[in-house]
Amino acid sequence: MPRKAPSIAIYPGSFDPITNGHLDLIQRGSRLFDKLIVSILRNDAKEPLFSVEERIEMLREVVHVYPNVDVDSFDGLLVDHAAGRSATVMLRGIRAISDYEYELQMALMNRRLNPGLETIFLMSNEAYSFISSRLVKEVFGLGGNISGLVPPSVEARLKRRMAKVNQRGG
Ligand code: PNS
């Protein structure tokens, strides 16, 4: 019987920074696929807090415990990047119904661009369904407590970044 090709999934995003919601998805995804590639979009129109290199480091610090998870980055179309890494699945999380419309649009566009790339959604863990990188940055920037929302190494990095910004400001 012919051997089945290994299942390779790509989990793309901005990860600015990675939250515990992302990490939960990575952990669950790592059990579903032979290989999971977490990939950061380089040419993002959004103004990021962390550089792509910093985000790669932050991701590596937390995913090294999963031997089948890789960290990568990409420019241009996701479908081209996925094909370059032989991925046949794109993994995304859905937190609430408000995510659905954007995710549906993206999944249908990607299917049109490459029908061979299947989008698979995992429902976010309810404990993390309200977390987004944007809100974490906002709450942290205003002095709120974000422990439990991001990995400790990311919280430490946010603290260092904020101290630097305050030093420059004062
Ligand atoms: O975490 P995000 O910001 O919601 O991730 C969005 C991302 C990176 C998955 C999306 O913007 C993307 O895939 N961009 C790459 C460009 C592309 O392929 N665009 C067409 C897809 S609809």
In this predicted model, what pLDDT tens digit does every residue of 104-152 receive, in sequence order?
999 999 999 999 999 999 999 999 999 999 999 999 999 999 999 999 9
Q: What is the DSSP letter of 125?
A: P
What is the pTM assigned to this prediction? 0.95
Active site residue 46: yes
Protein residue closest via CA to atom 14 of ligand 1: 78
The ligand 1 atom at the shortest distance from the C-alpha of residue 15 is 1
Q: Which of 30, 133, 137, 157 is catalytic?
A: 133
Residue type, 109: M
Active site residue 22: yes
Q: Which of 46, 159, 160, 164 is catalytic?
A: 46
> For ligand 1, is residue 133 a contact (CB within 6 Å)?
no
Which tens digit of pLDDT belongs to each residue from 2-52?
A: 788 899 999 999 999 999 999 999 999 999 999 999 999 998 788 999 999
Instruction: Tally the domains of the chain.
Output: 1
The ligand 1 atom at the shortest distance from the C-alpha of residue 12 is 9
Which tens digit of pLDDT belongs to each residue from 59-107?
A: 999 999 999 999 999 999 999 999 999 999 999 999 999 999 999 999 9
Q: Is residue 147 part of a domain?
A: no
Q: Is residue 44 part of a domain?
A: yes
Q: Is residue 152 part of a domain?
A: no
If you measure from the C-alpha of residue 140 to the centroid of ligand 1, how many angstroms do you get, rounded to a whole number? 25
What φ, ψ does residue 106 adopt, rounded to 5°?
-65, -45
Q: Is residue 170 part of a domain?
A: no
* CATH number for the domain harbouring residue 56: 3.40.50.620
DSSP notation for 6-63? PPEEEEEE--TT--HHHHHHHHHHHHHSSEEEEEEESS-SS--SS-HHHHHHHHHHHH
Q: Is residue 146 part of a domain?
A: no
Q: Residue 114: which domain range?
A: 8-130
